[in-house]
Structure 1
Amino acid sequence: MSHYVAYKGEYISALTRLYLDKATLVWNGNAVSGQEELIKFFEMLPSSEFQVNVLDCQPVHEQATQGQTTVLVVTSGTVKFDGDKQRYFNQNFLLTAQATPTNTVWKIASDCFRFQDWAS
């Protein structure tokens, strides 16, 4: 068990580095903002298996982002969390280019995840 916890912590640390320091994640209508809150949120999630069925992206016009190079990524598929049934989801990301002295790094500025549960 301790090996899994150490691995999960390393994974969460790497995952949260993909986000801007002040990024916001909206998970089924619940907002989480900032690195510390993102870490806490990801730590509470159970293990999961995702299958992405659709992936699309397009640039966001400069006028909407004050000249910041930004791309909208839209994805959907299925996810199964430990102890739960498989569910459909949609997830949208706004990725923004962050220039460094040596290269450009893409970071998540906004992330919106939603389960798609339809009535049978």
Structure 2
Amino acid sequence: MVPSLSSGSRKPEHKDFKIYVDQACKAAEEFVNIYYETMDKRRQALSRLYLDKATLVWNGNVVTGLEALTKFFDVLPSSEFQVNMLDCQPVHEQATQAQATVLVVTSGTVKFDGNRQHYFNQNFLLTAQSTADNIVWKIASDCFRFQDWESS
């Protein structure tokens, strides 16, 4: 959870906020490794990383809910993702009704079987879900876009 603002100040307490950002970035790095490895090698398990009512926007096409996500991923050709950039930041609790949430942004290249390589950008909103043993980060929202330019 993002630390609350200290009384009489509009700035978060620096030390607590830095710890929170560090934890969010660690979770984001772990998530990205799991997500793209699952996408490339164990696609049938990919929908387990999403919340039940998660939404994916894939190059402008909206897919909502686990059943629809599973069907969507099943028809994608095999892939080879290479993530070249990762950025993350915690989303302030006032914007998420106190739900621990992290924005994760990735970019890189992807080659789908039988197609040329594309540049991509992908944004995830992850929310922390408590289990009996620990916290699991699940995808609430996912936006994927090819970032190719036409040659002049």
- TM-score (structure 2 length as normaliser): 0.70
Which secondary structure state, in structure 2, belongs to the residue aligned with residue 32 of structure 1? strand
Could you tell me which runs of 5 or more consecutive residues in structure 2 were left unpaired when the two chains were aligned. Answer: 1-38
**Corresponding residue to 1:89 among 106, 120, 138:** 120
**1-side partners of 2:133 and 2:82: how far apart?**
34
**Corresponding residue to 2:141 among 107, 110, 118:** 110
* Consecutive aligned runs of 4 or more in structure 1 exceeding 4 Å deviation: none
Displacement of 1:119 in angstroms is 2.1
Q: Which has the higher helix share?
A: 2
Question: Looking at both structures, which has the greater relative contact order when contacts are Cα pairs under 8 Å and sequence separation is at least 6?
Answer: 1
User: Deviation per CA, 1:61-111, whole angstroms, max 9, x where unpaired?
Assistant: 111111100000000000000111000000000010011233211100000
2:69 equivalent to 1:38: yes
Displacement of 1:52 in angstroms is 0.4
CA RMSD, 1 decimal: 1.5
Letter of the 1:89 counterpart: F
Displacement of 1:19 in angstroms is 0.3
The correspondence of residues 1-120 of structure 1 with structure 2, limited to 5 A, is 11-120=42-151
Larger Rg: 2
**2-side partners of 1:49 and 1:100: how far apart?**
31
Identity %: 79
Contact (CA 8 Å) 1:12, 1:39: kept in 2 or not?
no
Structure 2 equivalent of residue 3 of structure 1: none
**1-side partners of 2:84 and 2:142: how far apart?**
18
Letter of the 1:79 counterpart: V
Q: Which has the higher strand share?
A: 1
Contact (CA 8 Å) 2:44, 2:73: kept in 1 or not?
no
Could you tell me which runs of 5 or more consecutive residues in structure 1 were left unpaired when the two chains were aligned. Answer: 1-7
